[in-house]
Structure formats: C-alpha cells, structure tokens
Amino acid sequence: MTAATQGGAKASLWEPSRLLRRSILALLLTPPACLVFLGLAIFFWGPDRSEAFFVPLLAALILSTALGWPLAAKLRHQLAALARQRDAFYQELLRLSKSASLGEVASSIAHDLNNPLAIMREEAGWIQDLMKGGDLQGSHTQTEIANSLQQIDIQIERSREITRRLLQWGRDSAPRTETVDINLLLNKTLYLLESELETAGVTVAKDLPPDLPPVGGGAPELRQVFLNLMKNALDAMKARGGTMTLATRADAAGLTITIADTGPGIPASSLDHIFEPFYTTKPAGEGTGLGLPISRWIVEKLGGTIGVESKEGSGTSFHVTLPVQAKKDAPGP
Amino acid sequence: MTRPIRLLIVDDEARLVETLSKRLTARGLYVEGVHSGADALALLQGKPFDVALLDVRMPGMDGLTTLREIKKLQPLLQVIMLSGNASINAAVEGMRLGASEYLLKPANIDDVLAKIEEAFHKKLIQEERLAAQHGPGA
C-alpha cells in the first residue's frame, strides 16, 4: 500500500440488501427472545427435570422465528419501498444536475460563440467605416475589405464548429439499449470542455486504445458521469494548470475508465465523504455536492463500480469500471 | 482636453484587437493592443494609458488577476472589462476589484466608444481631485 489513500466505493450503510441481512440477524437474536430463553432455562434447570430444559429452548426458538419472520417480511417490504424512493430521488437529482450542467455547458459555449461574433461585428463595422470614408476604389481600401470579408468567413467556420459540437452533445440521448463506444463518448465530452481546459492551462493526456469492447447502454447517463469527473479534474487544476489523463483499459473485471488530475489532491479526511450527497469541498456557490453521488448512483445502476485514489500534493484519480456487453452474435433465448 | 485618449486593448483574440484598434484609431483614439495579461503588465510598466479594455477570460493570466496587477501599476487607469460570457459574476467581481465598467461581447462600437469616453472623463476628474488634494503649492 502506498501513501495514497483509498475510499469511496464501499457500500453505504443504508444499502437495502445489507440492512435487510443485518435486521433479520438482529431479530433472531433479539434481546427479549434471549431473556425468555434464559429465564425458562434457569427455571427448569434442575437434577430431575433436565429434559424439560430443551422445551423452553425450542419454544424460544419457535417464538422468535414466528415473531421474527413476519417482521422481517415487513421490513423487507419497507426497505424495498425505501430503495424505490431513493431511486426516484436520484432520478430527480440526475434530471436537475443534467439541466444544471447543461446550463454550465451553455454558458461556456455562449462564450466560445461570442468571440467569433465579436470579431465578425468588428470586421463588418470596419467595412462600413471604410464605405463611409468614401474612397472605395483605392487599392488599400480594396485589400482591407477583402481581408475583412475573408476574416468573417473564417469566423463563420469557427462558429459552425462550435454549433456542430453542441448538436452532437444533444444527439445521442437515444435509446438505452444501444451499446456505447466509451472512447467516443469520452472524446465528445472532452470537446465541450476544450476551451475551458485551454484557458486554465490544462493539457490532456489520452490513453484510449482502440477496439475496446462496448458497454451496454446508458450513454446519456455515462456522459453525465464523465462530464462530472472531468469538470472536477478541471476545477482541481484551475489555479495552477496541470494534466488531465483520460485512460481506458479492458480486463476480466470489465472496462475501466480512469480520469485523473494533477491537482492538489483530496485530504484523507475528506476522501471518505466525497460520495455523500451535499458534501463539497468547493467554495460556496460553486459545488452542489451532488456530482459524485449521482455519478456513483449511475455507475452502480449500470452494474459498475466507481472508486477514487488521491495523494495530497500530486493529484486525484477516479476509476469507473463497467461491465462489458456480451458478444452480439450470442444466441438469444 | 485636446490630447487623444490613450487606450490599451488586452484580448487573446488577436484579430479582434487588430480590427478594433483600427476602428478606434479612425475615431481619434491612440490605441495599442496586446494579447495577454503578462504583455499588458510589461507594457504598463513604462507607459501611461488612460483606459484599458480588458478581456475577462484569457489563457495564462486571466482578466481579474491582470486587473489586480494593473491597479497596482497604474491606480488611475480606468479598466473596462470585456466579457464573452453573459454571466454577470465575473463582471461584478471585476467592479469590486476596481474596474469602472464592463461590456459584453459582441459589443456595439458606439457603446464601446461611449464607455471609453465616460471612463476617460472619470479619470480626468480623479486626476483633478488628486491635484487639488495636494494643494496649489504642492
């Protein structure tokens, strides 16, 4: 074990299946049952009544089982309802966070688009200035106008690239049943943050080997996960720049996606809490504390796991492992 | 008030700086342009300006950091923040740090000119006030 601390992927306390198992055990060993058993056993304990010792023992067992079973069933029922409520809660959070991150993306894209627009406005304005000046035939004026028109065209091309990117973002909110090319999804998500990364002085190192097995569905949700993790990496490096690493790897465990930063790292005391709803280390007003809990919920819904490694002073890595899609030509039932 | 307004434009969009400079020069201003916060500070070390148009979002030193440093070098220089982002946060933060105005890209040249002139007047008033404070004999 290195000095790096690990945490996060542990099942939380209110994970229904775990809570259920614990509750049944607690019910069977419930203190009243034990007291009944002890009281009766002591009462019947004696040299001439030794066989009767087993009667209360059996009675206590039957009693506790008879009482415990319906209770356990009820508990199981309630826990299932609780799990459904939790799912609905996370669905709602996901919907909200999607529109929140769309808002952030929209703001970033507005910025990207306003720059070429500003240039086009000045170029058009310059042509108008020249026209007001009168002498349109002079070779200098002709060159200036041609130059400005060419620049407008360059800026239109630049704007078109931005809108194309935006369209791609919206496009694959298609069915969940499709398989997902993870590398493509990572690249598309990266596009959205490109100019922000550049502004922050963050370089991107990619290790995305081709021919990875696809994962089964969940593209819109996974995109949300990747956007959350990349934005966290970006935020961690905003002050001093750094390198964001995107890596994918397929092995027996499935497909693992690593998104790592070279930021200041997460203190060990915070690392255990980062997947808890509303826990945030970002300045007030900047983090909702929902990105990571939602990401974990999405990944677990898709049958995967998410974990984190962080070392103070050298950075943080998030690992998402997803089950890969079985071969398409497998015979159906 | 016969001297031309000395304007510094700081924006990483080189073409914007170039064309805006041409248009404002044609309107009687003395204009210089640079493409980064660091270049702006280097220039301001040795040369006085009246007004600066400063982009908020630039690679390297961002606009707000540049603003802070500009105010240390030339406290009276009037800074107009230029933002490509409709987000009001950076603009408000800029005003808090001493910017006198902000403009959203793409801005209209008449608005740009009006704000520059307004900022210039503000600077003249501040200069007069400062001179009066030091007294006639000072």
Q: What domains does chain B contain, in order, with CATH numbers?
A: 6-133 (3.40.50.2300)
* pLDDT band, residue B9 (cuts 50/70/90): very high
Assign 3-class secondary structure to B73-110: HCCCCEEEEEECCCCHHHHHHHHHCCCCEEEECCCCHH
Please tell me the distance from the alpha carbon of residue A261 to that of residue A244, in angstroms, as a whole number: 5
**ipTM of the complex as predicted:** 0.88
Name the H helices within chain A: 16-28, 31-44, 54-133, 139-171, 182-199, 219-237, 268-271, 291-301
Distance, C-alpha B70 to centroid of its chain: 9
Residue A191: predicted pLDDT:
85
Distance, C-alpha B84 to centroid of its chain: 16
Residue A243 corresponds to which tokens in the numbers above?
Answer: 């390198």
Q: Residue count of chain B, please give it.
A: 138
User: What is chain A's pLDDT, residue by residue, as a tens digit (333 residues)?
Assistant: 333 444 444 444 455 566 666 666 666 666 666 676 667 667 766 555 666 666 776 777 777 777 777 777 888 888 888 888 888 887 777 777 776 666 666 777 777 888 899 999 999 999 999 988 877 788 888 899 999 999 999 999 989 888 877 776 655 544 455 778 889 889 988 988 888 888 889 999 999 998 888 888 788 888 889 998 999 999 999 888 999 999 999 988 899 999 999 999 998 888 888 888 777 777 665 666 778 888 888 898 888 999 999 999 899 999 999 998 765 444 444
**Which of B23, B26, B59 is the closest to A201 by Cβ?**
B59
CB pairs under 8 A between A and B: 60
Please tell me the distance from the alpha carbon of residue A12 to that of residue A243, in angstroms, as a whole number: 32
A251: CB partners within 8 A, 6+ apart: none
- Pick from A162, A208, A161: which is nearest to A185 by CA? A208
CATH fold group of domain A176-326: Heat Shock Protein 90 (3.30.565)
Q: Can you name the residues that pair with A316 across neighbouring β-strands?
A: A261, A310
In chain A, where are the structural domains located?
A: 9-91, 176-326
Residues of B with CB under 8 A from a CB of A: 13, 15-16, 19-20, 22-23, 26, 57-60, 62, 84-87, 104-109
Q: Can you name the residues that pair with A7 across neighbouring β-strands?
A: A308
- Pick from A247, A273, A270, A271: which is nearest to A260 by CA? A247
CA distance B125 to chain A (A): 31
Residue A32: predicted pLDDT:
65
Lowest pLDDT segment from A23-32, A317-326, B36-45, B113-122:
A23-32
Residue A333: predicted pLDDT:
40
Please tell me the distance from the alpha carbon of residue A315 to that of residue A299, in angstroms, as a whole number: 22
Phi, psi of A134 (to 5 degrees): 100, -70
CA-to-CA dists, residue A80 to A11, A27, A76, A294, angstroms? 17, 18, 6, 20
Which chain A residues are Cβ-neighbours of B20 within 8 angstroms? 122
